[in-house]
Amino acid sequence: MFEFGIKDAIDILLVAVMLFYAWRLMKMSGSLNIFYGILVFVITWIVVSQMLEMKLLGSIFDKLVSVGVVALIILFQEEIRRFFLTLGSQRQLHFITRYFVKRKTNVEEEHVDQQLMRIVLACDYMSKNLVGALIVIEREMSLGDVIKSGESIDANISTELIKNIFFKNSPLHDGAMIISHNRISAAGCILPVSHNLNIPKELGLRHRAALGITSQSDAIAIIVSEETGAISVAQGGEFHLRLASNELESYLINALK
C-alpha cells in the first residue's frame, strides 16, 4: 500500500520549487521551448523506465540522460550560474547573515544617499538632453573582469563627471560605466549582451548589455535611452522601464540598502 507522508510532501515541494526557478531562468534567457522539451523528455523517460518497465527502451533513455546532463551543463552554463546566484541572493536568506554583518551607521547611509542622488541627477540631465548612458552598480559579486575591459577612472561619484563621460563626443560614451565600492571604477567597459528573444525590439544594444550583465551577476544597471531619453533599470535579468527621476531614486535606495 502506498503511504504518503510529510517527507513526500516536502520532496514534491522542493522539486516544484526547482522546476519553477528553472522555468523562470529559461524564460529570461529565451530558452523556454527547450525547457518544455527537456520536461517532456524526462517525463517520457520516467514513464518508460519506471512505470512501464521497458528494459531496452529504458536503457537507451538512461544512456541519453547520462550524456545529456553533461551537454546541458555546457549549453546552459550561464543559466546554471544564474540559478545558483538567484538561490543565494534571495531576501528570504538575509536573516541568516544579518546578525553577522555590521549594519551601516546613519552617517554611512547618508553618504550613500548623496552618492545615489548624484547618479540620479546625472541620469535626469542626460534623459532631458537625449544623451545615452549605461551605468552598472556593482554589489556583492565582483565585476573585476568587466572593469578590466574599460578605462580605469577610480574617482569619486560626481554628477558632472558622469555627464562628461557620457557626453556624445566623449571617447568613452559608448561603453558602460562601472561603479564599485562607492566610486567610479571604470568607463567604456564591454558588457556581455543578452540574446533573449523576448526583449522588445524597440530596446537597443544598451538594454541588451544591461540585461546581459544583470543576468550573470547581482549588479544593477541603469540605462538612459539616446533615442527617447527614457530611464530604465535592469536587475536580476528583468527590466523596470520608463522610470521617472524620483522613481529611480526610490528604486536605488531600496535596492542598495
The label of the residue with cell 547520462 reads 66
HSE, CB side, 13 Å, CA atoms: give it for residue 150: 27
Instruction: Output 85 or 61, whichever has higher pLDDT.
Output: 61
**Residue with C-alpha cell 577612472?**
153
Rounded Cα–Cα distance for residues 189 and 177 (Å)? 6
What is the average per-residue pLDDT within 165-172?
89
Who wins on pLDDT, 91 or 132? 132
pLDDT at residue 44, rounded to an integer: 81
| Dihedral over alpha carbons 82, 248, 157, 224 (to 10 degrees) | 80
d(CA 88, CA 27): 20
Average pLDDT of the segment spanning 77-102: 53
Q: Which phi-psi region, left, alpha or beta, contains residue 203 (left: φ > 0; alpha: ψ -120 to 50)?
A: beta
Whether the CB-CB separation of 167 and 207 falls below 8 Å is answered with: no
Whether residue 184 has pLDDT greater than 90: yes
| Amino acid 28: pLDDT | 59
How far is the C-alpha of 199 from the C-alpha of 131, rounded, in Å?
22
Cα distances from 145 to residues 159, 162, 189, 237, in angstroms, run: 25, 21, 10, 19
Average pLDDT of span 122-137: 96
- Here the cell at position 159 is 554628477
What percent of the chain shows pLDDT beyond 70? 77
Compute the mean pLDDT over every residue in the chain, rounded to the nearest whole number. Answer: 81
Q: Would you state the cell numbers that stand for residue 15, as one nine-digit string? A: 522539486
Q: Evaluate whether 133 touches 159 at the Cβ level (below 8 Å).
A: no
98: pLDDT strictly greater than 60:
no
pTM of the model: 0.66
Q: How far is the C-alpha of 218 from the C-alpha of 90, rounded, in Å? A: 11
- Half-sphere CA count of 54, side-chain side, radius 13 A: 12
Residue 155 in grid coordinates: 574617482
User: How far is Cα 187 from Cα 192, in angstroms, rounded to an integer?
Assistant: 15
User: Among 227, 231, 206, 209, which residue's Cα sits nearest to residue 120?
Assistant: 231
Over 60: is that where the pLDDT of 95 sits?
Answer: no
